[in-house]
Amino acid sequence: MEPQELKNEELENKEQPLQESVDFSDEDSQLAAAELSLDDSDAIDETENAAPPAAAAYDGVARATLLEKLKLLLVEKPVQDLKGEVEAIKVAFYKKFSQEKEILLQKFVEEGGEREAFTAPEDGLEIVLKELFAQYKKLRAELTAKMEKEREDNLVKKQAIIAELQQLFERQDDFNKIFNDFKDLQARWRAVGAVPATKQKEVWDVYNYNVEKFYDVVKINRELRELDFKKNFELKQLLCEKAEELLLEADVVVAFRKLQKYHEQWRDIGPVAAEFREPLWERFKNATTQINKKHQDYFEELKTEQQNNLNLKQALCEKAEEVAGTVCTTIKEWNEKTNELLELQKMWKTIGAAPRKDSPRVFQAFRKACNTFFDNRRAFFKEQKNEYTHNLQQKLELCAQAEAIAESSEWKKTSDELVQLQARWKEIGPVPHKQSDLVWRRFRAACNKFFDRKKAHFSTQDAAYDDNLKKKEDLISEIKGFVSGAIPAENLAALKAFQQRWVEIGFVAMKHKERIQTEYRTAIDALYSALRVSDAERQVTNFKSRVASVVKEGRRAVLSERDKLMQQVKRIEADIQLWENNIGFFAKSKNAEKMIQDVKNNIEKARREIAVALEKIKVLDSSDSK
């Protein structure tokens, strides 16, 4: 009896390495950082530098170093330029903090504690962060109050300018002097900063009315007025062109912000000739309407996308809760459910953001389901520890028995005994993970030692190798010289006959094996191509020719080959199952039809591969039973 080909990963129904999660530290840090948020009292107007956070720039930086960086920023940079960096530091801090707390939590649970009972120790660095953030908020609030005061002062200044403008209507001075004073008032108006938002339109409407009235009422030099109108017309026409160019801007948010600046500039420019006022404004307003529509549509689409993301995440929550509620009684079941949950976590990471108000709730629900599952998993494997120790003792005894007969020269009797030991080994359950490879290597070394000796003992028939080499070289020449006939079936039969004769010839010396096999494979492949045999049929036919040589190596080689094919089938079936599961999620995505068709094509190809592998297994089983 030939030995069984042993593989540790198949014989050991052992616990997988404890992977409890995809990395969710980014989500955890965002959730924790959200507790330190700005409110209305901290608002600075839209002119502040609000660059998006770039927390990745601070990955790997120690929390204490992050705090030092924040301290320097609060001293060295204007507060209106800090928002992006403060957010980035805050998120990076809590990402690192979340990772550190997770390590403490895992240790607490492994030592027998309940997850719900865990309380993280007070962290001095987090206290410092909160103090620094409070200082940042205070600086923002102070700047906001200062800016509001300035806006109120600016309102008074602009109202005074309007009053002076109205007085021009009553003056009887030289019109050139009046006009110069008028231009001076316009320059002063443009130099004054922003006013409170609630008063902005009102004060501008009054100003604009009086500017237009000035041109209509005051009898200034006609050429001078037309020159001013022309200049204003050119400036407003340029703003129209710039606004229309924004319609081509890919980033609708950037376009919208630039448009607000153009509107401010429009308000500061004086009037144009009466006949151009309405057409010019309509042109500018038309571009404004389109840009505002794109801006509104963008956020509507974003809202819809986030809602779709929320629906997908809620579906994953339900699935995770279902997995967490499954009662597993074997290691295989736990490993299957673990892989299933890890796939859900990977899918979660591929889904974009949900609405801000819903994101913390749905994320916490998902993590709770995952934590429940892995807490139950740890409890199960903790109970298995004593059983693993007992299994280890049994396998150590088998190692000793195998080592005791490894030097035997009773080939048949010892072969049977080792095969029986191998069968008993497979019946024993898993051992502690740290000892698994050690005890397995020891047992396999003893088995291999005997079977290698046996193989060497029976490999003395080298005399026929040279003759076999000559026969194979002659056969290769015959294959190369084969001329196909008109009947395909006869051609295929001849091809199979060549393969059968090749197998029947027997072995050659090892130094010639690779060369002669390569020459044979090249010749037979060329013949296959010429006869246009299907790929599947070709694979099976080639396999049939190889099976005979495998059978000659003994039952252990046959079982090894069969096991490889079964593993291939299981792997492809797992891929098919994952693809079929993913189709449901792809259905709600953009370009779903194409993605689903690609997945279906992959599934169809995989099923063809399974069919070929199963056909090869049938060939093996048929050969093994003879």
Over residues 571-615, the pLDDT tens digits come to 888 888 887 777 766 666 666 777 777 777 888 888 887 887 787
**Residue 284 pLDDT > 50, yes or no?**
yes
**How remote is the C-alpha of 6 from its chain's centroid?**
37
Nearest to 196 by CA among 252, 152, 133, 135: 152
Over residues 344-359, the pLDDT tens digits come to 888 988 888 888 888 8
Paired tokens of 326:
């499954």
SS3 15: coil
* Lowest mean pLDDT, pick from 80-89, 105-114, 301-310, 375-384: 105-114
DSSP 20-79: --S--HHHHHHHHHTTS---GGG---TTS--PPP-GGGGTT--HHHHHHHHHHHHHHS-G
Report percent pLDDT > 70 for the chain.
Answer: 82
SS3 590: coil
Over residues 142-173, the pLDDT tens digits come to 888 888 888 899 889 888 988 888 888 777 67
**Residue 11 pLDDT > 50, yes or no?**
no
The residues near 302 (Cβ < 8 Å, ≥ 6 apart) are none
Paired tokens of 550:
């495998």
Q: For the beta carbon of residue 198, count every other beta carbon within 10 angstroms.
A: 9
Global pTM reads: 0.47
State the alpha helices, DSSP H only, in 483-534.
488-505, 510-531
**Do 536 and 611 form a contact (C-beta atoms < 8 A)?**
yes
- Cβ burial, residue 159 (10 Å; 0-12/13-18/19+): middle
d(CA 291, CA 278): 20
- Sign of CA pseudo-dihedral 55, 61, 66, 72: negative
**Do 317 and 347 form a contact (C-beta atoms < 8 A)?**
no
The residues near 520 (Cβ < 8 Å, ≥ 6 apart) are 472, 475, 476, 479, 502
Domain residue limits, the chain: 152-298, 463-624
Question: Phi/psi at 325 (nearest 5 deg)?
Answer: -85, -5
Residue 60 region by backbone torsions, left for phi larger than 0, else alpha for psi between -120 and 50, else beta: left
- Sign of CA pseudo-dihedral 579, 583, 584, 588: positive
d(CA 590, CA 375): 37
pLDDT at 219: 58
* pLDDT confidence tier of residue 15, bands split at 50, 70 and 90: very low
In the chain, the amino acid numbered 331 is: I
* pLDDT confidence tier of residue 242, bands split at 50, 70 and 90: very high
d(CA 480, CA 497): 14
Q: For the beta carbon of residue 173, count every other beta carbon within 10 angstroms.
A: 11
Paired tokens of 406:
């490894």
